[in-house]
Structure 1
């Protein structure tokens, strides 16, 4: 690829090594899936299906403001971004991919549905990394005092400031702008259009949680519904296995059997309810992570686990040759441990908290776990609890468990009531389900648990929802696959047509 506006390109292999180093760094006590976020962020990297050249190199906006809401604070920092002008023709639109709660991966500059849209509409593409994630470090460390500058509102102001810089630097004074994002960055895409309509002419908000909520018990409800696409037996077997675990926890011999069967890194302390809660959270997480990304097309060099689907897990849970329900549940756990090259399951609460309290940029927590935890405590909640009655994963991780994590990690009075006040403030600020926007499209997949917090019905003719049956988190953003169902294929066509409409008006 000839990138006329970027500096020397970065090799795919170098990017692969970076990803591997991040994965190695984060093999600590933080779970693979924490608060709905897998390591690396909720929007994974797409597979390089067609492109085998060099990727655009990273570029830096060196005058990003630290605090956009304090005119007396003139401190600045360097924000990372990428550019691809391969498809651009004079007067074409600007496409802006918004970074979320993970490292901005330059593979998105050459792959994904938005690149197809850029080709169709002759757009120049920019991707901006979210403050505090990846290499975009506004402060010296992740101490609580420094985290006060980490918020969605500051991130949106970053984007507005970047747009002004970008228009001048690349001589794009009047070109129309369409923003893109998936998951949390999908929310940012919608909110950017809502808060800065004079800067952004349209927005694609894929799998975007628009409603903030303390107790996201509906998450497990969608997981159960998604497992039921294979039949009712899967959840029944999980329920039986869960009941058996509770009975085994009652005596030393049973706890030792659980340690051996589930390859636990430590022995179980029956008196430590936080450890017990973490154990059940992680076992549920085995299914949650697979459901959230079921059968999407996000595999890429160095990625693991993308071949494991709902069918895989429920196939094991329904296989009597594996053994009892508990043995099948343990087999699922072993499959995922092996897939992610983990020798044992980490479930000790104090060790997890200790990891998430680390503030150095080179720590395991800096991969994004500490930052995302802070944002959920300070802005959004979205705590995936066990408080839903009709789910098979037990009752050991109620919403109070997540609130306790906020207090223990940040050593601050993050009670459930205090967090609820933060959440109410976010919903008031952004508009909640009643968000007033035009020229925004809200795609969501029925398999994705996050759709329960999204816009599922048209807000207006000019702010439509696209509900895609049978697809998971951000599926419409990934490269097209021959295995895509018809609704997913049509969703990409609909989005491209909407972009064309917005650019013409």
Structure 2
């Protein structure tokens, strides 16, 4: 692949996006069915530096990447997809928005997996000592090292790079442009939380607003359900009712505050996940339950024939358990912590890796502390901070978490970051827009705010049901990229 090429850096996070996974739930996704005659690219390995910030540490490790040059033509761009907080999924190499850009621009696709996720294991395990090498700074340096190496390996001597990312990788896209402007000439940051924040109580406020697009009585029913559950918690007979109605794997102990907080958080997460990924066309990745939407939630919660609001809430929980083919809901805090404490790569440690990053860099804890939401107040921010200590050790205190958040915002600038040739794209339904950029920073750092769309909607394959504003946004982004390449 010789000659002058323009290189696109596309950062793609896991479809789980940023947030909490269901306890006992693997973060791995089943591969989707491929179109006839289409094959996934083979995995390749790149020798990466372990610690980019210690010149005397020469240790290396193998980082996974993929390549698809089906549509590449000489002088065309190279799109480099970078994984986020989950396994790099090569489905992005054969479908979805990145592939459409490759077709339009005669480009080659590359995908690099994020360190400490998927099969990219820099260390022998995910111990706290080894997780010290996991950070957004190291990830950005991985991108820089990979970029320079690919220039030589692919024969790229003069080229332009455009970073594109969705979710946490959307943040990385903007920060890559900020920190390595000599390597990347523009960035597309989709659904990117730019501001690190301990108590992300605004998340549930956006969930409330999104549910209200169907009807405020939906929020009212959820609020009553939580009130009814709170009443049931006052007596042991109520614990038994909750255990049965919500199909808990073990009896609820109402005296165990951590179990209660974890249960309420998980039940709220049922709604959070549906809202965050509402109508996002994730079916191409093999994700279950993509036809369950905000309308589904509200249809159940408003259906008085099902019984009282908490019974309707239990019906929603059962629906999701059935979709995920789970017999019961493991609500215990101990079980969740035990899963997160596993350091073995054979186990699903993606959740542990992301939890570590929230404890050391971002916070992002979706608490129930706001009074402007219908999900009660059973899981305050302290509940999440305590997880940092219980999973990683006593030194991971609130002060340590706050120090890491302050450092992140100092490094990257929070919402006051100074960048050019970066476009920020957010959906009104997506709760993560509350920590993103939704208005223009400048003429060279515009924002696109799409009504009626959820998390990373612009990244997914087009659908006949896509709103007109989403269709226009895709065209607008492509036009911006083309303009940047001419500068």
TM-score normalised by structure 1 residue count? 0.90
Residues 445, 228 of structure 1: CA spacing in aligned structure 2 closer, same or farther, 3 A cutoff? same
Distance in 2, Cα, partners of 1:330 & 1:52 = 43
Q: Contact between 1:191 and 1:430, CA under 8 Å: does it hold in 2?
A: yes
Answer yes or no: is 1:412 the counterpart of 2:394: yes
Answer yes or no: is 1:461 the counterpart of 2:443: yes
Specify the SS of the correspondent of 1:388.
Answer: coil
Answer yes or no: is 1:475 the counterpart of 2:457: yes
The residue number in structure 1 matching 2:290 is 306
Q: Contact between 1:47 and 1:297, CA under 8 Å: does it hold in 2?
A: no
Specify the SS of the correspondent of 1:299.
Answer: helix
Residues 51, 191 of structure 1: CA spacing in aligned structure 2 closer, same or farther, 3 A cutoff? farther
Q: Contact between 2:21 and 2:351, CA under 8 Å: does it hold in 1?
A: no
Answer yes or no: is 1:190 the counterpart of 2:174: yes
- Pairing of 1:319-334 with structure 2 (within 5 A): 319-334=303-318
Q: Post-superposition shift, 1:302? A: 3.8
Residue ranges of structure 2 left out of the alignment (5+ in a row)? 3-13
Distance in 2, Cα, partners of 1:110 & 1:463 = 30
Specify the SS of the correspondent of 1:64.
Answer: strand
Specify the SS of the correspondent of 1:307.
Answer: coil
The residue number in structure 1 matching 2:212 is 228
The residue number in structure 2 matching 1:53 is 38
Q: Contact between 1:48 and 1:111, CA under 8 Å: does it hold in 2?
A: no
Q: For 1:445-476, what per-residue CA distance to the aligned partner results, in whole angstroms no more than 9, with x for missing partners?
A: 00000010001011111111100000000000
Distance in 2, Cα, partners of 1:45 & 1:208 = 25
Deviates more, 1:370-379 or 1:340-349: 340-349
Specify the SS of the correspondent of 2:480.
Answer: helix
Specify the SS of the correspondent of 1:150.
Answer: coil
Answer yes or no: is 1:360 the counterpart of 2:360: no
The residue number in structure 1 matching 2:418 is 436
Distance in 2, Cα, partners of 1:198 & 1:60 = 25
Q: For 1:124-166, what per-residue CA distance to the aligned partner results, in whole angstroms no more than 9, with x for missing partners?
A: 2111000000000000000000000000000000000000111
Distance in 2, Cα, partners of 1:208 & 1:111 = 22
Q: Contact between 1:46 and 1:297, CA under 8 Å: does it hold in 2?
A: no
- Pairing of 1:37-436 with structure 2 (within 5 A): 40=27, 52-61=37-46, 63-300=47-284, 302-364=286-348, 366=349, 368-436=350-418
Q: Contact between 1:194 and 1:437, CA under 8 Å: does it hold in 2?
A: yes
Q: For 1:166-210, what per-residue CA distance to the aligned partner results, in whole angstroms no more than 9, with x for missing partners?
A: 111111211211111110011111111110111111111100000
Q: For 1:56-99, what per-residue CA distance to the aligned partner results, in whole angstroms no more than 9, with x for missing partners?
A: 111110x2000000000000000001111122221222222121
Q: Contact between 1:132 and 1:138, CA under 8 Å: does it hold in 2?
A: yes
Distance in 2, Cα, partners of 1:110 & 1:358 = 33
Q: Post-superposition shift, 1:408? A: 0.4
Specify the SS of the correspondent of 1:230.
Answer: coil
Residue ranges of structure 1 left out of the alignment (5+ in a row)? 5-18, 24-29
Residues 130, 45 of structure 1: CA spacing in aligned structure 2 closer, same or farther, 3 A cutoff? farther
Specify the SS of the correspondent of 2:281.
Answer: coil
Specify the SS of the correspondent of 2:425.
Answer: strand
Residues 49, 233 of structure 1: CA spacing in aligned structure 2 closer, same or farther, 3 A cutoff? farther
Q: Post-superposition shift, 1:300? A: 2.9
Q: Contact between 1:277 and 1:397, CA under 8 Å: does it hold in 2?
A: yes
Residues 129, 469 of structure 1: CA spacing in aligned structure 2 closer, same or farther, 3 A cutoff? same
Q: Post-superposition shift, 1:46? A: 10
Aligned residues: 472
The residue number in structure 2 matching 1:489 is 471
Deviates more, 1:51-60 or 1:208-217: 51-60
The residue number in structure 2 matching 1:7 is none
Q: Contact between 1:46 and 1:479, CA under 8 Å: does it hold in 2?
A: no
Q: Post-superposition shift, 1:418? A: 2.0
Deviates more, 1:210-219 or 1:405-414: 405-414
Q: Contact between 2:31 and 2:285, CA under 8 Å: does it hold in 1?
A: no
Specify the SS of the correspondent of 1:98.
Answer: strand
Q: For 1:411-461, what per-residue CA distance to the aligned partner results, in whole angstroms no more than 9, with x for missing partners?
A: 132222221111010000011101111111111000000010001011111
Residues 129, 234 of structure 1: CA spacing in aligned structure 2 closer, same or farther, 3 A cutoff? same
Distance in 2, Cα, partners of 1:435 & 1:194 = 8
Specify the SS of the correspondent of 2:164.
Answer: strand
Moved over 3 A (4+): 30-34, 38-41, 44-52
Q: Contact between 2:30 and 2:286, CA under 8 Å: does it hold in 1?
A: no
Distance in 2, Cα, partners of 1:39 & 1:397 = 23
Distance in 2, Cα, partners of 1:60 & 1:46 = 21
Q: Post-superposition shift, 1:49? A: 8.2
Specify the SS of the correspondent of 2:213.
Answer: helix
